[in-house]
Chain A
Amino acid sequence: MNEFLTQYAFLIVPIIKIALLVFVVLTVDAYLTWLERKVIAHIQARWGPHRVGPHGLLQPLADGVKFIFKEDPIPANADKVAYFLAPFITLMLALTSLAVIPFGPQKFTLWGYESTVGIADVNISLLVLFAITALGVYGIALAGWGSNSKYSLLGGLRSSAQMISYELSLTLSVVGVLLIAGDFSLRNIVEQQGTTGSGLLTWNIFPQIVGFTCFFISAIAETNRIPFDLPEAESELVAGFHTEYASMKFAMFFIAEYTSMISISCLATILFFGGWLSPFPAAWTFTHYLPSLILIPFGLWVIYDGIRYENIFGRILLPGVGTAFAGIGAALLVFPTINGLVQGPFWFFAKVFIFLFVYIWMRGTLPRFRYDQLMSFGWKFLLPVSIANVVLTATVILWRMR
């Protein structure tokens, strides 16, 4: 058995990593919907989901069950191939884009096979990511065209036009980072940001603030989120490209949207915010206790909130969850080696969480673009600014090389 494992480790280890990542990402997606509903509710002075489980924590589970058991009608005269292919393409590409993202600095060896935190460590990972994003249009375009409905078709058309337009500025806005790093590999881009020193000031965000602004705006447009959610503008197009989708196929579009939100947030973190690097100077070793310092009070607060919760189920579940959080925090205090390993992923996921929160925050705050404004903003503002950013960065780098 052990021989078999070492011989096929190059196959088995990635499969385990993929299964783990898909499980984690789908769970995070589910709770991202909960967080989004909760945050937007509080922005709008509502309660949000709070019936299913304590604080609505089991709402994603209920949604999942509902998605599976709903009727799944197929519209008359729909193009069967395109109609069935579209959600699969969208979900597959969204999940594939996470394959090239490195989540932490460590390398580990399992059954004699050296592997990294993250599925694949490709040296053109940024290009791979853009290639996958470029193919992402088809899912939405086909869904819109295949459903044989005018709202869907208009949504699909809008989305293809929008994604072609904003892909240009998305790609151009990261060229500045590429020029600084001199590499396509996301791992090397992160490590390059830590070479000139340590801490917040070495991150790419400071020389590339213009690039980051263009990147983030185009990224929101690429993921079809508010204020760029014209493909599914409900006041104009019912639900846009997924009007005719129900049940699990609708859920697939939904999961794909949240997954691409996660992968774009990961990309922003890696390219501009130093990935897994800590924002504090390396000399400040006391910041290594920050994960515990956050987890233990949070766990204690959940316990405190749980014991006075209104129903018995919450009084059991919430203290359990709180104990788990506090326990993990305490374990990190007790075992310094594990704490050292956790530092990279902790900062990475903390930054990604902030980006996801900004996504939700914007949905609760900003109104939708008008379609012509969207197009002229993309072509007449974002594109020139990102090209100017490329030229300026190249000039500065050449001037420094002199």
Chain B
Amino acid sequence: MTASLVIFFVLAALAVLGAVSLILQRHPIHSALSLIVVMVALAGLYLLLGSEFVAAVQIIVYGGAIMVLFVFVIMLLNDGEEERTNFSKLATFAGIPLAVAIAGFIGAAILSSSSTLPAATANGSLTSSKTLSMLIFTDFVYPFELTSFLILVAILGAIVLAQREN
């Protein structure tokens, strides 16, 4: 077992545990904290795959900016613990079979294709941020600009919604 495999399993376990705890926690702040753990663990996984820039941006944007906003809003509303009810009928009769079915499909897909799965970059080299930005602004410039346009529309929508109250 190589060192990178050990690190992978630690980070993967951290990410999965964080995700499970995100759902199981009763308090919104604790859920948000669990989500931050997931984000940071994912950043570690990106780093392991050799994309250092994406790893850093993952923490700066998701771990830093977006989750801080989440925590800020939860703190501002000062919401209490969520209430638990028994499963609704829809959840018992439709949800559980659906979850089992999805888990089965994913498991079957992984099992059937495990022999043909391509290995991740094993050369250990890092994708420099220069190459990444060259790709973004030359080959993938249309998807990139479209995404930024989409975000701009979302920002405008937020402003319109906020203005309507006045």
Contact = CB atoms under 8 A, between A and B. Distances in A.
B82 to A, nearest CB: 15
Given A81-B30, A145-B75, A160-B75, A138 B68 contact: yes
Nearest to B40: A135
B22 interface: no
A397 to B, nearest CB: 15
B53 A160 contact: no
A127 B75 contact: no
A163 interface: yes
B48 interface: no
B126 interface: yes
Given A124-B52, A153-B75, A153-B78, A130 B68 contact: no
Nearest to B74: A145
Interface string A129-167: 011011101100110110000000100110011011001
B148 interface: no
B155 interface: no
B129 A184 contact: yes
B29 A124 contact: no
A141 B78 contact: no
Interface string B72-103: 10011010000000000000000000000000
A134 B63 contact: yes
Contact of A123 (B29, B40, B52, B76): B52
A81 B53 CA distance: 32
A79 interface: yes
Given A123-B52, A124-B52, A138-B36, A164 B60 contact: no
Given A123-B52, A123-B126, A130 B72 contact: no
A135 B56 contact: no
B17 interface: no
A82 interface: yes
B60 A130 contact: yes
B71 interface: yes
A342 interface: no
Interface string B11-46: 000000000000000010110010010001001000
Interface in A376-398: none
Given A124-B52, A124-B53, A127-B56, A135 B64 contact: yes
A164 B53 contact: no
B57 A164 contact: no
A127 B78 contact: no
Contacts of A145: 29, 71, 75
Contacts of B64: 131, 133-135, 137, 167
Given A123-B52, A127-B53, A134-B63, A144 B68 contact: no
Given A137-B64, A138-B36, A131 B76 contact: no
A124 B55 CA distance: 10
Given A141-B75, A145-B29, A157-B75, A164 B68 contact: yes
A139 to B, nearest CB: 11
B7 interface: no
Interface residues of A, number: 31
A246 to B, nearest CB: 22
Contacts of A28: none
B69 interface: yes
A237 interface: no
Contacts of A128: 56
B65 A134 contact: yes
A128 B63 CA distance: 12
Contact of B76 (A124, A137, A157): A157
Nearest to A178: B129
A72 to B, nearest CB: 23
Contacts of B33: 81-82, 85, 138, 142
A141 B68 contact: yes
B71 A135 contact: no
A141 B72 contact: yes
Interface string A231-254: 000000000000000000000000
B49 interface: no
B72 A161 contact: yes
Contacts of B57: 127
A135 B78 contact: no
Interface of B: 27, 29-30, 33, 36, 40, 43, 52-53, 56-57, 59-60, 63-65, 68-69, 71-72, 75-76, 78, 126, 128-130
| Shortest beta-carbon contacts, A-B, top 9 | A134-B64, A127-B56, A131-B59, A160-B72, A124-B52, A145-B75, A137-B68, A131-B60, A134-B60
27 contacts: A79-B29, A81-B30, A85-B33, A122-B52, A124-B52, A124-B56, A127-B52, A127-B56, A128-B56, A131-B43, A131-B56, A131-B59, A131-B64, A134-B65, A135-B63, A137-B68, A141-B68, A141-B71, A141-B72, A142-B71, A145-B71, A157-B75, A160-B68, A160-B71, A160-B75, A161-B72, A167-B65
Given A124-B53, A134-B65, A144-B75, 12 more contacts: A81-B33, A122-B52, A124-B129, A131-B43, A131-B64, A134-B59, A141-B75, A142-B29, A145-B29, A153-B75, A157-B76, A164-B68
